[in-house]
Amino acid sequence: MGKPLSLDLRERVWEFIEAGGSRRAAARHFRISASSAVRIAASRAERGTLEPRKQGRPPGQGKLAAYVGFLAEVVEAVPDITLDELAAALESEHEVRAHPASISRVLTRAGLTYKKSRSTPRNASGRTSERRARTG
């Protein structure tokens, strides 16, 4: 996403337009796009300010924001649950489909990171290191 034009440039464009210049002439004069000059003038007319609007999506308003409590309850009840199983539970309980990666991001933002515990112990044979020792 691009950066907004500086407030100084916005003020100079607005002064040019206010002094009787057209928006397109202001755009040519200040070497900006015509649409930017039009938006600057519209911003001043509609909002009364030349400050750029905040960019990006406001935090906490995604599709899963309403279901953080449900997801937290499921993770606390079944700490070994996989993200795929969480997605299935969300879909069956609330009829909301979500990708496991999205669920992971929501849980992380909510401070509910978890690591699956291994249901089986790690392979203790050490075959890889034995093979390296014989061939090396």
- Per residue in 106-131, pLDDT tens? 999 888 876 655 665 555 555 555 55
Maximum mean pLDDT: which of 6-20, 52-66, 68-82: 6-20
- Whole-Å CA distances, 57 to 2, 61, 62, 100, 110: 15, 8, 9, 21, 17
Mean pLDDT of 86-98: 95
pLDDT of residue 50 exceeding 70: yes
57-89: b or e for each residue (b if 16 or more CB lie within 10 Å)? Answer: eeeeebebeebbebbeebbeeeeebebeebbeb
Q: What angle do CA 72, 67, 103 make, to 5 degrees?
A: 70
Q: Where are the domains of the chain?
A: 7-47, 65-109
